[in-house]
């Protein structure tokens, strides 16, 4: 215990303050260091796992003449990833011409007729068509909607105005809002609500995703910093 005398106290009362020990100080520093190192270590561990996984699947498919270990005494980490990127780039270049479109369409017709394969292939085909044919169909705004009941608000991403049968049933004043779950924003609920019943936020989609992913622990500053005016 540390004793000190209050300078403004005429009675000279001595107040004792607790003195922190060495173990609590070391524990706090250890926890702080662990929190700093955790995202860095996790990132490298995940990258190492993905690179090794791709290398173990891609490199054995290459002929021995193209493998680095044929000429070196060790395998080159990430060589399979490089080959995969080159293959996908070449595949995209071939698929964009007339002959490539023909083979892609032929593959679609064959796979959609196989009884077991078509149920799985059709799902991924729809996902591919969304990104391929609707490049502008990305989340643009972050809103708050009353979900799951009135008076309770949840963060959602605007998918756009209703289309097709939903537009015919609901009207033009409805929008589609994707409400992700926490802390996994890849799953969630698709709601169709009136645009007037939503509360538009100034945060970006990336900032809204951080709020969802962190469980509300990471909140962007408000009001946001003003953007610099463009040079005339």
Give the gyration radius of the chain's Cα atoms: 29
55, 80 Cβ separation under 8 angstroms: yes
Instruction: Convert 64-92 to b/e letters by CB count within 10 Å (16 or more is b).
Output: eeebeeeeeeeeeeebbbebeeeeeeeee
111, 121 Cβ separation under 8 angstroms: yes
Give residue 18's pLDDT. 59
125, 104 Cβ separation under 8 angstroms: no
Mean pLDDT, contiguous 10-residue spans, the chain (232 residues): 51 56 85 88 90 90 86 84 88 77 81 82 73 61 92 92 88 91 84 93 90 86 64 50
Whole-structure pTM value: 0.49
192, 174 Cβ separation under 8 angstroms: yes
Alpha-carbon span 174 to 147, nearest angstrom: 16
Q: How far apart are the first and last CA of the chain?
A: 66
Give residue 225's pLDDT. 61
DSSP category for residue 170: H
Give residue 218's pLDDT. 85
Give residue 203's pLDDT. 92
Alpha-carbon span 4 to 181, nearest angstrom: 53
Give residue 76's pLDDT. 85
Six-digit token string for 135: 């490049």
CB neighbourhood size of 28 (10 A):
11
CB neighbourhood size of 101 (10 A):
12
Give residue 35's pLDDT. 86
């Amino acid at each position: 215990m540390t004793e000190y005398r209050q300078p403004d106290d005429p009675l000279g009362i001595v107040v004792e303050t607790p003195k922190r020990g060495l173990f609590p100080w070391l524990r706090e520093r250890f926890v702080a260091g662990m929190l700093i190192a955790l995202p860095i270590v996790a990132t490298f561990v995940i990258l190492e796992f993905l690179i090794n996984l791709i290398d173990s699947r891609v490199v054995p498919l290459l002929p021995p003449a193209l493998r680095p270990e044929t000429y070196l005494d060790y395998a080159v980490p990430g060589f399979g990833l490089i080959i995969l990127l080159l293959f996908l780039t070449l595949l995209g270049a071939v698929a964009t011409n007339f002959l490539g479109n023909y083979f892609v369409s032929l593959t679609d017709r064959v796979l959609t007729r196989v009884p077991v394969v078509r149920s799985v292939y059709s799902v991924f085909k729809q996902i591919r068509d969304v990104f391929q044919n609707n490049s502008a169909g990305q989340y643009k705004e972050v809103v708050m909607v009353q979900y799951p009941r009135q008076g309770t608000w949840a963060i959602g991403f605007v998918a756009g105005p209703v289309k097709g049968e939903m537009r015919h049933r609901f009207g033009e004043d409805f929008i589609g809002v994707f409400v992700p779950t926490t802390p996994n924003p890849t799953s969630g609920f698709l709601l169709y609500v009136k645009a007037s019943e939503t509360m538009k936020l100034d945060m970006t989609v990336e900032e809204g995703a951080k709020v969802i992913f962190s469980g509300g622990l990471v909140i962007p500053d408000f009001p946001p910093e003003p953007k610099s005016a463009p040079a005339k």
